[in-house]
Amino acid sequence: MLIYKALRAEEWAALQAAGRTDGAPVDVADGYIHFSTAEQLPTTLSKHFAGENNLILLACEGDSLSPALRWEPSRGGALFPHLYRELRLSDVVWHRLIPLGRAGHEPGELA
């Protein structure tokens, strides 16, 4: 199952340069890297990245992140994927720019 992480352009550039990241400042503060499922992603984008340009969407295969990936309750009790280790560039299956349209972010097809 693919899970998704939105990074700001500078965060993505740092991951590419170093080959690893502890995540965005919120991830570092919380002690894990926040991911979303395809269903959770639109709300994550509108809640945490409203109006931001130059976001990069990363897709990672959740099964390959075990055992460091845990599914834990968050917004409204829904289970969210949380990664309790660094995110490695080699974990990224694909990435792309998330367009910001009039109605907000448009993650497009998540296949």
Q: Does some domain include residue 55?
A: yes
| pLDDT value of position 75 | 81
| pLDDT value of position 99 | 78
CA–CA separation, 50 and 53 (whole Å): 9
Q: Does some domain include residue 108?
A: no
Q: Does some domain include residue 107?
A: no
Which residues of the chain fall below pLDDT 70? 100-111
In angstroms, the Cα distances linking 23 to 8, 62, 86, 90, 96 are 10, 16, 7, 15, 17
Tokens 């390959």 identify what position? 64
What CATH code is carried by the domain that includes residue 37?
A: 3.20.170.20
Q: Does some domain include residue 16?
A: yes
Q: What is the pTM of this model?
A: 0.89
Please count the structural domains in the chain: 1
| pLDDT value of position 16 | 98
For residue 57, give its domain range: 2-99
Taking CA 98 as the corner, what is the angle to CA 93 and CA 104, rounded to the nearest 5 degrees?
Answer: 145
CA–CA separation, 77 and 68 (whole Å): 21
pLDDT, averaged across the chain: 91
Q: Does some domain include residue 33?
A: yes
| pLDDT value of position 50 | 85
Q: Does some domain include residue 10?
A: yes
